[in-house]
Structure 1
Amino acid sequence: MDSYTKEELEEALRAIASTISKCEKVLPKLKQGTSQHTLLIRRIKALHIASSLIKKALEE
């Protein structure tokens, strides 16, 4: 796995948190059951996973 500095990981975490927030604001505007809605839900889930992994890496 690539090695990243603590600062790079913290910046990535801030960017991911911002993206999650923006996605969650848009989600209610999309009609449930559409491909856009499903894709956004999956993206949010993936971003939460990425965030968790970065937090875990920062703890090491």
Structure 2
Amino acid sequence: MDIKVSDLVEAKRQIDSTLNKLRETVKTLEAKENPNRYKSQITLARRRIEAFEISVFLIEREINDLGK
């Protein structure tokens, strides 16, 4: 698959946007009166955050490798 640096940069931008929204979602749910009620949603959001953080790391590494 032929992926351009510009494609990777755009993918990273989109993932960063989603990461910000997920982090805000976790903050909101944890601030609720009874956060235990939202435990599964918080766990899911945290797992997604971890997955997206790994994706960003790999994308950044690929951008650096392609730039060399």
Normalised to the residue count of structure 2, the TM-score between the two structures is: 0.79
Unaligned regions of 5+ residues in structure 1, if any? Answer: none
User: Structure 2: how far apart are the matches of 1:49 and 1:3?
Assistant: 21
- CA-based RMSD: 1.3
Query: 1:43 aligned to 25, 32, 48, which one?
Result: 48
Q: 1:59 maps to what in 2?
A: 64
Q: How does 1:12-31 map to 2 (within 5 A)?
A: 12-30=11-29, 31=35
- The list of structure 1 runs, each at least 4 consecutive aligned residues, that deviate by more than 6 angstroms after superposition, is none
Count of aligned pairs between the two proteins: 59
User: Structure 1: how far apart are the matches of 2:49 and 2:8?
Assistant: 19
Structure index of larger Rg: 2
Higher helix share: 2
Unaligned regions of 5+ residues in structure 2, if any? Answer: 30-34
